[in-house]
Amino acid sequence: MKLSGAQILWECLEREGVEVVFGYPGGATLPIYDALDSSPIHHVLVRHEQGAVHMADGYARASGRIGVALATSGPGATNLITGIVTAFMDSSPVVCITGQVISPLIGYDAFQETDVTGITLPITKHNYLITDVHEIPSIVHEAFYIAGSGRPGPVLIDITKDAQQEVIEWEYEEMTVHLPGYRPDLSPRSNDLAYAVQMIRVAKRPVILVGQGVLTSGAMAEVFEFATQTQSPVASTLLGLGSFPANHPLYLGMMGMHGEAWVNQTIQNADLLLAFGMRFSDRVTGKISTFAPNAKKIHIDIDPSEINKNVTVDLGLVGDLKEILEKLLPQIESAEHAEWLSQIEGWKQDASVRDIKNMQENGHLHAAHVIHDIWRCTNGDALVVSDVGQNQMWTAQYYRHNQPYTAITSGGLGTMGFGLPAAIGAKFARPEKEVWIIAGDGGFQMTQSELSTIVQEGIKINIAIMNNGYLGMVRQWQEFFYENRYSSTPIISPDFAKIAEAHGLTGIRVTKREEVETAIRKAQSLPESVIIDFRVEKEDCVYPMVPSNAAIDSMIRRPVPQADHQK
């Protein structure tokens, strides 16, 4: 068949199983857009290319499939950058396709020419520049393979306009990937597994640390079996939320900077850490030299460069978590650890007086209450995408996920503005799911323009804005560490309910605790997307908090209100 590079591209994408592409057109992608018509792939027109990558990223995180973003050369491509790094930091499989000026013009500072492969070199798992139409099929195939295998990540393909335009005789053929330097499928030696079994057998105070790798590997059932068989409590990283059911007695909650006190205490007192698909980020470990000082550490990760990177471990097992646990499980003995579990229960009881949910009604609307109510009204079953800041941490603390792939947030990069577009992508991946966004007033304004995308696509998402009039998380640091000097953190917002109305959506404003549930129920019942503007307590803080580079059990705790305490 005689096909243009652009037509070949769409067919290759289709062969990779792509159903939806998030993009924005321009001069250097005109041939690609012209050929879109004859493809069954659905194209979602975004309002900013950053949104396109976040959508592809949200799509990938919600489904485990590869998300695709498409942008034109120059400014289109540079607008992708924040999205690409967000996906890169959180190991999300995204393929970005950018148009490039015709190949004879490359290097001449042509109109909208940007060295995109140069710019994205350190922020992609791999990238390609295609100048020859014949390379399109094999590179697209390779790109999808690399993005989705091993430790997933974003891959960018920059395609010159002449390569898109050229017509060649072409027929799709099955392809094999030849990448001599790429080893996504390593596995540990059997004597290392035996060593792990032994360490697990002698442990008295084990704790499992689950990270996003559990979700990537699809090892939820194996982790569950491992935890229950060895009666090991389970702590989660921010990105691991949902990989272990929050309603299970062995589940502790989130660890780290804003982890629950008892979770961090458990880690600090453990004699064995079982790190499953997590990377000991500084937000998790606090000051490294004080981290889990009495624990032996077993680290299972698919990326060999993570072993001994942040924390020196006693045993590193490199490979797919699910496979490794499948090998370990038959060799693991059942255990009780009753004493250890009751010690943890004690820490939990101590913390409960500081839990805002247990505090007396004081007429204030706390974001924690709102998120707790959203959790209650959705039976903990919604797909929740949070933005970045206090709202994100409260969501992590108060929305308790029992299902995998239902908690989506930007962890490694902490990208404000991620929430709305990522939720749009997630909704495309799982249209049957009830999707909620929990965002701050600041972050929401960063990508608010994607509301029009929601309208154009006619999709249903519920948006809860924790409107505290501040860039709250930064304000919190100013309160704690800069003597309440709130420099540039008070922020004015538009009336979000009216913003919703301007888009033909429904907007609700909530100022009192008793209005919360009604508003949530109303949003759930309406067919269109809804924004609820929750006017929450302005100067609330996320507790507990580990100051940066402190030990994770030296936390700033929520002050216990005197009146409450005495009762």
Partner 1 sequence: MRHTFVALVEDKPGVLNRVVSVFRRRTFNIESLAVGQTNQPGISRITIVVDSDKTEVDRIIPYMYKLINVIQVEDITYKPRVTRDLVMVKVNTTSENRSEIMKLADVFRAHIVDVASNSLIIEITGDEEKVNSFVDVLRPYGIIEMVRTGMVAMERGTETIFNNYFESQGFRMPVEFKFAS
Binding site for Mg ion (CB under 5 A): 440-442, 468, 470, 472
CA angle centred on 376, ends 370 and 379, rounded to 5° = 140
By DSSP bridging, strand 315-318 and strand 383-386 are unpaired
By DSSP bridging, strand 155-160 and strand 462-467 are unpaired
- The answer to whether the beta carbons of residues 278 and 216 sit under 8 Å apart is no
- Residue 382 near which of Mg ion, ligand TPP, partner 1, none (CB within 5-8 Å, type-dependent): none
Residue 177 near partner 1 by CB under 8 A: no
Residue 176 near partner 1 by CB under 8 A: no
Supply the minimum distance, in Å, between the C-beta of residue 489 and ligand TPP. Answer: 8
- Residue 113 near which of Mg ion, partner 1, ligand TPP, none (CB within 5-8 Å, type-dependent): none
Q: Tell me how far apart the alpha carbons of residues 206 and 226 are, in angstroms, rounded to a whole number.
A: 12
Residue 187 near partner 1 by CB under 8 A: yes
Residue number of the CB atom closest to ligand TPP: 440
Q: Tell me how far apart the alpha carbons of residues 251 and 210 are, in angstroms, rounded to a whole number.
A: 10
Measured from the CB atom, the residue of 179 and 329 that comes closer to partner 1 is: 179
Residue 189 near partner 1 by CB under 8 A: yes
- Could you give the count of Cα atoms lying within 13 Å of 495 in the half-sphere of its Cβ? 8
Q: Which of 121, 120, 139 is nearest to 5 (CA)?
A: 139
By DSSP bridging, strand 2-4 and strand 435-440 are unpaired
Report the residue from 27, 218, 245, 304 that binds partner 1 according to the rule CB under 8 A. Answer: 304
Measured from the CB atom, the residue of 318 and 371 that comes closer to partner 1 is: 318
Collect all residues with Cβ–Cβ distance below 8 Å to 256 and sequence separation of at least 6. Answer: 237, 238, 264, 281, 283, 284, 285, 286, 546, 552
Q: Tell me how far apart the alpha carbons of residues 127 and 87 are, in angstroms, rounded to a whole number.
A: 14
Collect all residues with Cβ–Cβ distance below 8 Å to 468 and sequence separation of at least 6. Answer: 367, 390, 440, 441, 536, 537, 538, 539, 540
Q: Tell me how far apart the alpha carbons of residues 210 and 212 are, in angstroms, rounded to a whole number.
A: 7
The identity of residue 478, as a single letter, is: Q
Cis peptide before 544 (omega within 30 of 0): yes
Measured from the CB atom, the residue of 238 and 318 that comes closer to ligand TPP is: 238
Residue 181 near partner 1 by CB under 8 A: yes
Measured from the CB atom, the residue of 52 and 146 that comes closer to partner 1 is: 146
Residue 121 near partner 1 by CB under 8 A: yes
The window from 14-22, 118-126, 441-449, 483-491 that contacts partner 1 (CB under 8 A) reads: 118-126
- Residue 181 near which of partner 1, Mg ion, ligand TPP, none (CB within 5-8 Å, type-dependent): partner 1
Measured from the CB atom, the residue of 189 and 538 that comes closer to Mg ion is: 538
Residue 318 near partner 1 by CB under 8 A: yes
How many C-beta atoms surround the C-beta of residue 565 within 10 A? 11
Residue 271 near partner 1 by CB under 8 A: no
User: Site residues (CB under 6 A) for ligand TPP?
Assistant: 387-391, 414-416, 440-443, 466, 468, 470-474
Supply the minimum distance, in Å, between the C-beta of residue 120 and partner 1. Answer: 11
Kindly list the residues in this chain that would bind partner 1 in the complex (CB under 8 A). Answer: 117-118, 121-122, 125-126, 129, 146, 179-183, 185-189, 192, 303-305, 307, 309, 318-319
